[in-house]
Structure 1
C-alpha cells in the first residue's frame, strides 16, 4: 500500500488558505486547487498544483518530522532560483515564498511549471532514442559547466556561503550529519572521513555548486535531450566546482553497482558511462582530472551519509517515504564499498 499523501493532501497545509495566498501573490487561480505528489525525491516534498482551468504550478515544502540543522531550507532554495532566473542556467521561475503559519506549518515555495520530462524510470526514457539519451548526459555536463561559470557578484550570490576551502567544510558538515542521522555504526565511513581530510587537493577557484546534480534532478526535452530545468537546489552552496561533477558521478550507476531501483535508467542504451561524463566535463572546462578523483570519492562518501539519513527520516515518519522506496543497509554499504574502491584508485 502506498505511503504517499493522498492526491489532494499536502501535510500541514490549509487548502483554502493556500488558495487565498496563491491569488494574493498574483496567480490567476480558478476554482479548487488540487495537489499531487511528484518525483522520487527523499528530501523536500514536491507537488504539482492544478486549478479548475488547468493552471499548473509546482510547490515545494520541507519533509515532515525531525529536520537536521541547515537542511531542507526551501526559502534559501528560492533565493538561488530567483538569482539564476536571468542567467543561461535553466531554472524554473519562483512565483512566491510563503512563511505564513496560518497557511502552512512549514515554509512553502511556489514556482512555474516547466515543460519537459524527468527520467525517473525506464517507462519515461524508453520512447527516447539512444542518440538522444546520449545527448541528455552531454547536456547535463554542459549545464554543470554553466552553473560553475555564473558570476556570483552579478547575480547577488557572493554571500550565499563561505569562501573558505570547500573540502574541509564538506567533511565537517557531512561528518556532523552522519553522527546525527546514522542508524548504526559503519567503521569504513569514519575511516574514509580521516583519509579524505588528509588528502584534499588545493582549491584554486570558488563557484556556485548545485550540490545534488543527478538525472532525476533535471527536466529534459525528450525530442532533443537538452535540459529544460535544473531542479532541487537545497544543497547548493559556494565551493569547488569539481565537487558537483564528483557527486554526479557518484549518483550515476554502472552495471556492477548496488542500486536502489532494480533497473536504473542510466544503464539503458545510449546513456554515457561515468568515464564519458567525466571526460566531457573535463574537456568542456579544462579542470584537473586527478582532483576530480578526490571529489568522486568524497561524493560517494557523502551519498552514503545521505542514504543513511533517508533511512532515518523514513523510520521516523512514513510520510517522508518516496515512490522509489527507501534504501536498505545493503544499499548504503554498496555506496561505502564504492567509495573505498575509489579512494584506492585515487591514492587517498
Structure 2
C-alpha cells in the first residue's frame, strides 16, 4: 500500500487530529506522525504520536468490506467493557462511527508494550523455562476472560449464547458450501458427525474467537494485552481453548507461514498440560472436548478451503497460497479422530 511515514494509507492525519482534539481536548500537543504497524485483509492498525504521547488507531481494511466482518464498534465495546476487569486490554479513548473523517469508522486506544510472538524462532531464545511460563500465563489469561460475567460488564446482549454450538456447525458448513471447488467427502462426514453430537453447552461467557499467543502482547514474560477482538461474541468459551489447541497442532504440519509455529518452541506447554491448567483455573467440565476439537478442526479446514478457493480463482496476492489447500484434508481427518477420542 502506498503512503509515507507521516501519512500512511487509510489514515488522514489532519482529519484524525481535528476529530481527536475535539473528543479529547488538549491530548495532542504537537504535530502528528503515524505508521502502519499491521495491515492486510484484517483490520488496519496504526501507531500515531505527537512526539510526547502515542495512540493506537484501528480501522477496517481499505476498499469495500462487509461492515459485520470489521465492526469497529464491536471491538471498541468489548475492550472498553473489559478494561475494569482482570483481563489485560488497552485503554480505549474514542470511537468514531463517521466514515467521512478518515474514510471508515475507527477507534483509538492506548499503546501497550509487548511482543506478539508468532514463531518459535522468536520465542526460543528466551529459554525453555520462560517459554513454559509464558505458555501457561496465556492459558491463565484465557481462563480469566471466561470467568468474566458478561452481564456485570454490560455485555449481556453482546451475542446469543443459546444454541451457539449448533449454529457454529451450520455456519461453517454454509461457508464450506460457498467455497466449493472440489469434492471433500471427509468434510461432509465430519459435519454430519458434529451435527449429530452437539453436547450440552458450557456456561456462556465472552468468547474471543481467535485466541492464540500472537494475538497477545507479552512483556517481561507477562501477558500485557489481549488484542484482535473482531470475532468476539457471547457463546461457549470452550470453543476458544479448543481452537487454541488446534492451532498448536497445526504447527506440527508443514504449514509454512499459513500458521504460527510458536507452540514448537522448546518448553512450550503441551495440550494435556494446557487443558489441565485451564480446567483448574476455570472449573469447567472438559469431558466433551473431543467435540470442541472436532469443531475447531472443521472451522480451520473451512477457512483454509476458502483461501484455496480464492487461490484457484486468482483472487490471492502474494506467495504461499499454493500449498494451503494441502492442509485441508489432514485437518478434516484430525477432526474425525478428535471426535472419536
Range into which the TM-score falls when normalised by the shorter chain: 0.7 to 0.9
Which residue matches 2:300?
303
The Cα shift of 1:331 comes to: 2.7
CA distances 1:76-96 after superposition (whole Å, capped 9, x unpaired):
110001111101111111111
Change (3 A) 1:91 1:326: farther
Name stretches of at least 5 consecutive residues in structure 2 with no aligned partner: none
Task: From the superposition, tell whether residues 339 and 171 of structure 1 become closer, same or farther in structure 2 (CA, over 3 Å).
Answer: same
TM norm structure 2: 0.87
Deviations 1:260-297 (A, max 9, x none): 32982221111112332223212323433331121112
> TM-score, with normalisation over the residues of structure 1?
0.85
**Paired residue for 2:232?**
236
Structure 1 stretch displaced more, 137-146 or 275-284: 275-284
Is 1:346 the counterpart of 2:332? The answer is no
Q: What stretches of structure 1 of length at least 5 have no aligned partner?
A: 319-324
Whether the aligned pair in 2 keeps the contact of 1:39 and 1:120 (CA below 8 Å) is no
Q: 2:145 aligns with which of 144, 147, 151?
A: 147
- Aligned counterparts, 1:32-43, within 5 A: 32-39=31-38, 42-43=41-42
Superposition pairs of residues 26-175 of structure 1, within 5 angstroms: 26=24, 28-39=27-38, 42-51=41-50, 53-68=51-66, 70-122=68-120, 124-175=122-173
Q: CA RMSD in A?
A: 2.8
Quote the Cα distance in structure 2 between the aligned partners of 1:158 and 1:298.
25
Could you tell me how far 1:183 is from its partner in structure 2? 6.8
The count of aligned residue pairs is 336
Offset from partner CA, 1:305-335 (integer Å, 9 cap, x none): 33445567896585xxxxxx76625334415
Give CA deviations for 1:233-267 in whole Å, capped at 9, x if unaligned. Answer: 11111111111101111212466313232982221
Shift of 1:39: 4.3
Map of 2:22 onto structure 1: 24
Check the 8 A contact 1:311/1:326 in 2, yes or no.
no
* 1:238 aligned counterpart, secondary structure: strand
- 1:140: how far off? 1.1
Structure 1 position 337 matched with structure 2 position 330: yes
Does 1 or 2 have the higher relative contact order (CA < 8 Å, sep 6+)? 1
1:250-289, aligned counterparts within 5 Å? 250-253=246-249, 256-261=252-257, 264-289=261-286
Query: Shift of the alpha carbon at 1:5?
Result: 6.1
CA distance in 1, matches of 2:22, 2:306: 37
Q: Separation in 1 of the partners of 2:39 and 2:7?
A: 17
State how far apart, in whole Å, the 2-side matches of 1:38 and 1:186 are: 39
Mapped to 2, the partners of 1:235 and 1:11 lie a distance apart of 24
Query: Are the counterparts in 1 of residues 204 and 237 from structure 2 also a CA contact under 8 Å?
Result: yes
